[in-house]
Amino acid sequence: MLATIRMALGLIVIAIAILLVIPTQYIALKTGLYSMNFGSRWCHWAMAKALGFRIVKHGEMARERPLLIASNHISWTDILVIGSMTEGSFIARGDMAGWPFLGWLSTLQKTIFVDRKRKGTSGAQASDVGKRLAGNDPVILFAEGTTGDGNFILRFNSTLFGAADMAIREGGAEKVFIQPVAIVYTRFHGMPMNRQHRPLAAWIGDNELWPSIRQHLREGAMDVEVFFGEPVEYTPASRRKVAAKEIEDKVRSLVSDRLRDVKRADALPLP
């Protein structure tokens, strides 16, 4: 009964947040007044709270521009988590643009849709992202290209790191800053998550969205931590594959360090 009430209240909060943010985002998109994008950040925060997330931030988003944020990826909820503390544009998979309602909302939030499966389009897609970067609009990339279970970092796809090249070559930027960001889901109902329980936060592959939303609404009470690392300079002499590997190693280190702390806390005897 309590779970049903909680789910109903959560859905009401989410609906109100979306309805309130639509007008400001629409005006921002049509007029170019991107300073109004604070509505998107507030909406992400409200939706994350409705789902029961407690978000802890370590560090800050870099102030340097152009800025590409490269993060690991565990679930669709990562968008809410990072979106609650930044006002950048997300890079999302191409088919998301056609999702009912959600695709339209993503468009209002200036999402950049890319189709990694279509051969011969990677250069054009990197160019689109590069132009957005050159316009000093922070871009958020989930660099693994898919979601993991939260226990491991998958190999970072270097293709869209080519956007940094495009921002320099086509956008006239002298350099691009790439900031590593690590997302770690750490606790569930106050208890440290271990290897077996961490997948509760994950949304893997082609799983349906609604069951995941329903689970979070019913269960709630999940802690997630976000670590902002030091940005790396990408210059005309840089190589995208080398840069992708460097950022991947930094994110992996941030995640591994936090998971070791969680494991250590899980092993401590109860008082």
Closest CA to 225 of 178, 258, 253: 258
Distance CA 270, CA 266 (A): 9
Instruction: Please give the model's pTM, rounded to 2 decimal places.
Output: 0.89
Condensed to tens digits (0 to 9), the pLDDT of residues 83-98 reads 999 888 898 877 777 7
Distance CA 37, CA 108 (A): 10
Neighbours of 15 (CB within 10 A): 12
Cα angle 269, 215, 259; round to 5: 40
Give me the pLDDT at residue 271, please.
Answer: 37
Give me the pLDDT at residue 34, please.
Answer: 59
Give me the pLDDT at residue 45, please.
Answer: 93
**Dihedral sign, Cα of residue 263, residue 264, residue 270, residue 271:** negative
Condensed to tens digits (0 to 9), the pLDDT of residues 136-146 reads 889 999 999 88
Q: Which two tokens stand for residue 77?
A: 């909820």
Positions in the chain whose pLDDT score sits under 50: 36, 268-271
Q: What secondary structure does DSSP assign to 76-116, as a single string?
A: THHHHHHHTT---EEEEEGGGGGSTTHHHHHHHTTPEEE-T
